[in-house]
Amino acid sequence: MINKKLIASILALCSIPTCVRAENVNIFVNKTPLNVGGFIMDDTTYIPLRAVSEALGAKVSWNSNTQSAYVEADEDTQTAQVIANASESVVAIVGNYKSGYITGAASDYNELTAHGTGVVIKSGGVILTNAHVVNDIDNITVVFSDGESYPAQIQYIDKDSDLAVVRVNRLGLKPISFGTPDSVFAGQSVVAIGTPLSLSMRNSASRGIVSGVNVNMSDAYYPLLQTDAAINGGNSGGPLLNMKGQLIGINSSKYAGVGIEGLAFSIPLDTINYVLSQFEANGKVLRPDLGVTLENSWEARIGLPTKKGVTVKTSKSDTLKAGDVISSVNGMEVHSIVDYNKALRDTYFSGNINVIYTRNGEQISSDIVPKIN
Class of domain 288-372: mainly beta
pLDDT at position 106 is 40
Question: In the annotation, is 76 catalytic?
Answer: no
- Neighbour count for residue 266 (Cβ, 10 Å): 30
Structure-model confidence comparison of residues 284 and 36, the more confident one: 284
Which pLDDT band holds residue 249 (cuts at 50, 70, 90)?
very high
pTM reported for the whole predicted model: 0.79
The residue-averaged pLDDT of 104-121 equals: 69
Angle separating helix axes 269-282 and 337-347, nearest 10 degrees = 50
pLDDT at position 105 is 42
pLDDT at residue 238 greater than cutoff 90:
yes
Residue 54's Cβ-count burial label (10 Å; 0-12, 13-18, 19+) is middle
The residue-averaged pLDDT of 208-213 equals: 95
Residue 220's Cβ-count burial label (10 Å; 0-12, 13-18, 19+) is buried
The residue-averaged pLDDT of 27-38 equals: 74
pLDDT at position 23 is 52
Contacts of 15 (CB under 8 A, 6+ apart): none
pLDDT at residue 74 greater than cutoff 70:
no
Class of domain 178-282: mainly beta
pLDDT at position 15 is 35
pLDDT at position 365 is 98
pLDDT at position 260 is 57
**Which member of 132, 253, 335, 336 is catalytic?**
132
**Which member of 53, 115, 161, 162 is catalytic?**
162
- Neighbour count for residue 273 (Cβ, 10 Å): 13
Class of domain 83-168: mainly beta
Report which of 99, 176, 97 is spatially closest to residue 132, judged by C-alpha positions: 97
Report which of 132, 330, 348, 372 is spatially closest to residue 357, judged by C-alpha positions: 330
Domain ranges of the chain: 1-73, 83-168, 178-282, 288-372
The residue-averaged pLDDT of 169-192 equals: 95
pLDDT at position 108 is 45
Which pLDDT band holds residue 21 (cuts at 50, 70, 90)?
very low
The residue-averaged pLDDT of 201-221 equals: 89
The residue-averaged pLDDT of 83-90 equals: 93
Question: In the annotation, is 115 catalytic?
Answer: no
d(Cα 263, Cα 255) in Å, to the nearest integer? 6
Residue 216's Cβ-count burial label (10 Å; 0-12, 13-18, 19+) is middle
Report which of 161, 175, 162 is spatially closest to residue 136, judged by C-alpha positions: 162
The residue-averaged pLDDT of 350-357 equals: 96
Give the three-state DSSP class for 101: coil
pLDDT at residue 294 greater than cutoff 80:
yes
pLDDT at residue 323 greater than cutoff 60:
yes
Q: In the predicted model, what is the mean pLDDT of the chain?
A: 85
pLDDT at position 212 is 94
Which pLDDT band holds residue 313 (cuts at 50, 70, 90)?
very high
pLDDT at position 118 is 96
d(Cα 83, Cα 360) in Å, to the nearest integer? 57
**Which member of 89, 211, 236, 253 is catalytic?**
236
Question: In the annotation, is 162 catalytic?
Answer: yes
Contacts of 373 (CB under 8 A, 6+ apart): 286, 287, 288, 289
Q: How many residues does the chain have?
A: 373
The yes-or-no answer to whether 178-282 and 288-372 have a common fold is: no
